[in-house]
C-alpha cells in the first residue's frame, strides 16, 4: 500500500465574505490546535467587492478572533499559540487559490461547498467545484446544515468512512486518512473501509435465456464480493497493524447512494474518497461518484487526487 508519511503543516482556508464560506472556519480550531499546523485565511477580492481595504482587513481580523475564541482558554493561558496568517489578494478566485497552493506548498485546503451571499456575491460552490477538479492536494469540503452553526459538532476525525474500489488510488486515500487522524484525531477514532459492488446487468430480451443470464450475473457478483472481501481484509490488517481502529463493510447497489446511506447509518463524521479513477474490483467511475456523493451528503467530505 502507498504510504503517505508527509504531515499536514500548511492549511488554506479561502473566504468569500459569505456566511456559507465561513462555515469552514468553524472547523478550523480543531486543525490549529496542532502546534505544527499553520492556517492561512485567504480572501480573494473580485471586481464586485464593495468593502474598502480597511474593511477587508477588519473582516479577516474578525475571522481570526472567531477561531481564537473557539479555542478559548488554552490561548489565554498561553498553553496554545495557533499559527494563523491572513492573506488579501485580488483576482480570479480559482486561479488565485490554486496559485497560492502551489507557491506556498499547502498540504490541505478547506472550503464550503456552496453559498451565494456576502460582499463578493461569489458562488463558493462553483469555485469549490473547480478547485476540487484542479487541485493536486486534498480538499476538505463542508456543506452548511440547516439549523446548524457555531454550536454544531466540528470534530471530523471520530468516525471516517472510506469508499474503496480496489485500486491504488483508494489505497492512498486510506494512507492519507491515517496521517490525518494521527495529527488531528485520537486513539478512539474509527475507520470504516467500504466496498460498494455494483450489481451486474442482465442483458437479454429473450425469456428463454433470462435464467441463464441471471445465473451468470449472480456468479459475477459473487466473485466480485469475494474479491472485495479479500482486498478489504488485507487492507484492514495493514491499517490495524498501524494502530488504528478499523472495520470493513461490503454492500451491493448504486455507489453514490450506498456510500451516503452507509455514512448516515454509521453516523460518520467524514467521508474520504478519491476524486477520480476507474479500476479495481467494482470499477466505479469515482469522478462522477464523488460528485454525486458531494451533492447528496450532509457530512464533511475529504477529496483526494492520489499519486499514481
pLDDT in tens, 18-36: 776 777 778 888 888 777 8
CATH number at residue 49: 3.40.50.620
* Same domain, yes or no: 124 and 209: no
* Same domain, yes or no: 54 and 173: no
Q: What is the pTM of this model?
A: 0.82
* Same domain, yes or no: 223 and 295: yes
Predicted confidence (pLDDT) per residue in 179-215, tens digit: 999 999 888 999 999 999 877 665 555 555 555 555 4
The answer as to whether 151 is a domain residue is no
Query: Which structural domain, as residue segments, surrounds residue 290?
Result: 159-301
Residue with cell 464550503: 112
Ranges of H-type helices in 104-252: 124-134, 168-184, 207-241
Average pLDDT over residues 235-245: 94
Is the pLDDT reported for residue 1 higher than 70? no
- Domain end marker among 142, 169, 186: 142
Axis crossing angle, helix 168-184 with helix 207-241, rounded to the nearest 10: 40
For residue 122, the number of C-alpha atoms closer than 13 Å in the C-beta half-sphere is 29
Amino acid at each position: 500500500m502507498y504510504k503517505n508519511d508527509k504531515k499536514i503543516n500548511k492549511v488554506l482556508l479561502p473566504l468569500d465574505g459569505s456566511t456559507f464560506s465561513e462555515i469552514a472556519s468553524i472547523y478550523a480550531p480543531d486543525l490549529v490546535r496542532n502546534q505544527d499546523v499553520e492556517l492561512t485565511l485567504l480572501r480573494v477580492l473580485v471586481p464586485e467587492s464593495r468593502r474598502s481595504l480597511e474593511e477587508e482587513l477588519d473582516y479577516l481580523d474578525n475571522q481570526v478572533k472567531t477561531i481564537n475564541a473557539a479555542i478559548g482558554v488554552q490561548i489565554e493561558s498561553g498553553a496554545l499559540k495557533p499559527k494563523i496568517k491572513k492573506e488579501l489578494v485580488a483576482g480570479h478566485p480559482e486561479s488565485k487559490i490554486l496559485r497560492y497552493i502551489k507557491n506556498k506548498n499547502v498540504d490541505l485546503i478547506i472550503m464550503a461547498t456552496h453559498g451565494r451571499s456576502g460582499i463578493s456575491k461569489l458562488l463558493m460552490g462553483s469555485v469549490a467545484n473547480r478547485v476540487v477538479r484542479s487541485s493536486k492536494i486534498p480538499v476538505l469540503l463542508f456543506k452548511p446544515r440547516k439549523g446548524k452553526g457555531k454550536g454544531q459538532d466540528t470534530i471530523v476525525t471520530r468516525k471516517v468512512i472510506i469508499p474503496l474500489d480496489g485500486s491504488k488510488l483508494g489505497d492512498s486515500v486510506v494512507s492519507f486518512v491515517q496521517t490525518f487522524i494521527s495529527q488531528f484525531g485520537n486513539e478512539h477514532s474509527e475507520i470504516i473501509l467500504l466496498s460498494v459492488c455494483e450489481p451486474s446487468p442482465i442483458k437479454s430480451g429473450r425469456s428463454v435465456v433470462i435464467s441463464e443470464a441471471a445465473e451468470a450475473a449472480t456468479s459475477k457478483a459473487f466473485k466480485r464480493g469475494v474479491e472485495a472481501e479479500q482486498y478489504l481484509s488485507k487492507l484492514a490488517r495493514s491499517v490495524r497493524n498501524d494502530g488504528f481502529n478499523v472495520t470493513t463493510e461490503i454492500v451491493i447497489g448504486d455507489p453514490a447512494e450506498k456510500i451516503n446511506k452507509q455514512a448516515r447509518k454509521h453516523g460518520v463524521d467524514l467521508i474520504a474518497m478519491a476524486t477520480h479513477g476507474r479500476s479495481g474490483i467494482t470499477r466505479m467511475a469515482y469522478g462522477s461518484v464523488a460528485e454525486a456523493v458531494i451533492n447528496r451528503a450532509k457530512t464533511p467530505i475529504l477529496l483526494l487526487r492520489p499519486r499514481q
